[in-house]
Amino acid sequence: MRCYSKLTFIVFFNLGLSQNIIDSYLVYHNNTIILRGDSLDGLFKPRDLDIPNDISRGNELWVINENSAYFDFTNGGSTVTYYNYGTNSQWSDYRKDAYSAHFMHTASAIAFSGNGGFANTLDTQDANGNPNGYFSGCTLWDSDTSIYARVNQSGPLLGSHWDMIHQSPYSAGIAGDGDNVYWLFDGYHNTIVKYDFNEPHLDHEHGGENHYDGVVMRYDEIQVQRVPELSSHMEIDQETGWLYVCDTGNQRVIRLNTLSGEVGETLNPYGESLAGYFSMINAEFEVAINDSLFQPTGLDIYNERLLVADYFNGDIIIYNLESNSVDRLGKIETGLQNEIMGIKVDNSGSIWIVCKNSHELYQLSTGFMGDVNGDLDVNTIDSELLGLHIIGTYEVIGEEYASADLNFDESINIFDLLMLLDLINNNI
């Protein structure tokens, strides 16, 4: 049985906002942190996490490890998938492809695309361990669990990987952008790179070596700085096309307009043939955040809010992205110094965190949601009061009104009651 703990986070907040579940972490001081995973599940130096884009797989949370689990003595990175995450029926599945020593060598980040695939970056100079080589970059996988880490585990092909392109040593972050298209933080060239795998291995063969149709575009006008052993996560704001990047070594966040730029000169690929390898020029980019960050690592975007986690002090800083600006709203002090590597907001507004050195997964929830009577607990009494409010025999006012408006539509109705009942049932 997992040990759950409750913490009251210290927050700083600028008032005057429209209602947003992310803002609730800053308005109310009753946030909860719950340990949801540890080394017993196979977590070992976890550096990132993501949720599949397919809504039918919304019960899955994937964590990528830099290394194999402590009970797994083979080389290479690995994954732990949590099913029914955040509920009492949560369970985990540890997996490592037999060829992960190459394809997940020092795995540093994970991102899903819309076609059921996911990709990971490799924070290493050479994926074959060659001290004089630079053969490293980004690996594409099929997340079908009957395929991933299941087919070709004893050969003759190279495991279950779907494709790989090797033009970005020391990659520390990744963001998905459509089917088989990914943006990378390239720590060797100190820039941002776009990878388009096109057709995986051309013939869709898992474990194959034919990636000749791959196209790589390198934005050398953008300069970023990697910090060894830390990830630099990134995410695309789908509403605007801005790619937000943790520029860890420069203590800032930058953003790139992914719809801008043009092809410049042709580059020579290292160690492989590609359909195209180009330097991109005249792309629109700018510094989005340039103060109060020490080692920004984790990053996610949710409901017009940008969340940035600082590895150095454990803070999660929240910014407003409305009106195409980046305005600081406040921060959550988690106390997890020198731990937070990646963060992800799920569909309910919970913030999920992986801690690299303690090998742990945490869920942060805003505790006030559903607390209709303001007693810092969510139970059947709250559902009864909410129901009485709906039929007109009880009035919810003040701060409790915001707590009862679970779907943030500025009214209290049967939909809020149904969400509250589901929340209570999941906590029993």
Q: What is the tens place of the pLDDT at every residue in 113-126?
A: 988 899 999 999 99
Amino acid (1-letter code) at residue 18: S
pLDDT above 70 for 426: no
What number is the average pLDDT over the span 88-95? 96
What number is the average pLDDT over the span 340-357? 95
The strand ranges marked E within 15-159 are 31-37, 46-50, 60-65, 78-83, 91-95, 107-112, 117-122, 138-142
Between the alpha carbon of residue 115 and those of residues 10, 18, 181, 243, the distances in Å are 40, 34, 10, 20
Nearest 10 degrees: Cα torsion 237, 241, 244, 250: -170
- Reduce the DSSP state of residue 197 to 3 states and report it: coil
pLDDT above 70 for 13: no
Q: What angle do CA 296, 65, 178 make, to 5 degrees?
A: 70
**Lateral strand order in the sheet of 10-13:** 10-13, 327-333, 315-320, 305-310, 296-302
What number is the average pLDDT over the span 275-294? 97
Cα(125)–Cα(100) distance, rounded to whole angstroms? 16
Query: Is the backbone peptide bond immediately before 296 cis, with ω within 30 degrees of 0?
Result: no
Residue 1 banded pLDDT, cuts 50, 70, 90: very low
Amino acid (1-letter code) at residue 184: L
In this structure, of 15-29, 274-288, 367-381, the range with the lowest mean pLDDT score is 15-29
pLDDT above 60 for 384: yes
**Lateral strand order in the sheet of 242-247:** 234-236, 242-247, 252-257, 285-289
Task: Read off the pLDDT of residues 108-166 as tens digits, 9 standing for 90 and up.
Answer: 999 999 888 999 999 999 999 999 999 999 999 999 999 999 999 999 999 999 999 99
In this structure, of 328-332, 333-337, 410-414, the range with the lowest mean pLDDT score is 410-414
Cα(319)–Cα(331) distance, rounded to whole angstroms? 9
Give the DSSP H or E segment for 218. Answer: strand 215-219
What sign for the dihedral angle of Cα 87, 66, 202, 264?
A: positive
Phi-psi region of 382 (alpha: psi -120 to 50; beta: other; left: phi over 0): alpha
Cα(293)–Cα(253) distance, rounded to whole angstroms? 9
pLDDT above 90 for 341: yes
In this structure, of 211-215, 272-276, 358-362, the range with the lowest mean pLDDT score is 211-215
What sign for the dihedral angle of Cα 249, 258, 345, 176?
A: negative
- Reduce the DSSP state of residue 236 to 3 states and report it: strand
As annotated, the residues of the chain forming the CATH 2.120.10.30 domain(s) are: 10-366
**Taking the mean position of all CA atoms in its chain, how far away is CA 246?**
12
Class of domain 10-366: mainly beta
Phi-psi region of 244 (alpha: psi -120 to 50; beta: other; left: phi over 0): beta
Residue carrying the six token digits 């997964």: 361
Beta carbons within 8 Å of 1's beta carbon, 6+ residues apart:
none
How confident is the model at residue 244, as a pLDDT?
A: 98
Strands 215-219 and 276-281: parallel
Cα(295)–Cα(317) distance, rounded to whole angstroms? 12
What is the average pLDDT score of the chain? 91
Residue 200 banded pLDDT, cuts 50, 70, 90: confident
Neighbours of 289 (CB within 10 A): 21
In this structure, of 9-23, 72-86, 93-107, 349-363, the range with the lowest mean pLDDT score is 9-23
State pTM to two decimals: 0.86
How confident is the model at residue 28, as a pLDDT?
A: 57
Amino acid (1-letter code) at residue 128: N
- Reduce the DSSP state of residue 386 to 3 states and report it: helix
- Both tokens of 60, joined, read 């899955």
pLDDT above 50 for 37: yes
- Both tokens of 197, joined, read 């795998």
Percent of the chain surpassing pLDDT 90 = 76
Amino acid (1-letter code) at residue 68: S
Percent of the chain surpassing pLDDT 70 = 92
How confident is the model at residue 399, as a pLDDT?
A: 67
Amino acid (1-letter code) at residue 103: F
What number is the average pLDDT over the span 3-30? 56
How confident is the model at residue 334, as a pLDDT?
A: 94
Q: With 0-12 CB in 10 A as exposed, 13-18 as middle and 19+ as buried, what is 406? A: buried
Neighbours of 106 (CB within 10 A): 21
Amino acid (1-letter code) at residue 331: K
- Contact status, residue 399 vs residue 24, Cβ threshold 8 Å: no
In this structure, of 12-16, 159-163, 175-179, 209-213, the range with the lowest mean pLDDT score is 12-16
- Both tokens of 406, joined, read 């679970």
pLDDT above 50 for 418: yes
Cα(45)–Cα(365) distance, rounded to whole angstroms? 23
What number is the average pLDDT over the span 32-47? 96
302-335 burial, b if ≥16 CB within 10 A, otherwise e? bebbbbbbbbbbbbbbbbbbeeeebebbbbbebe
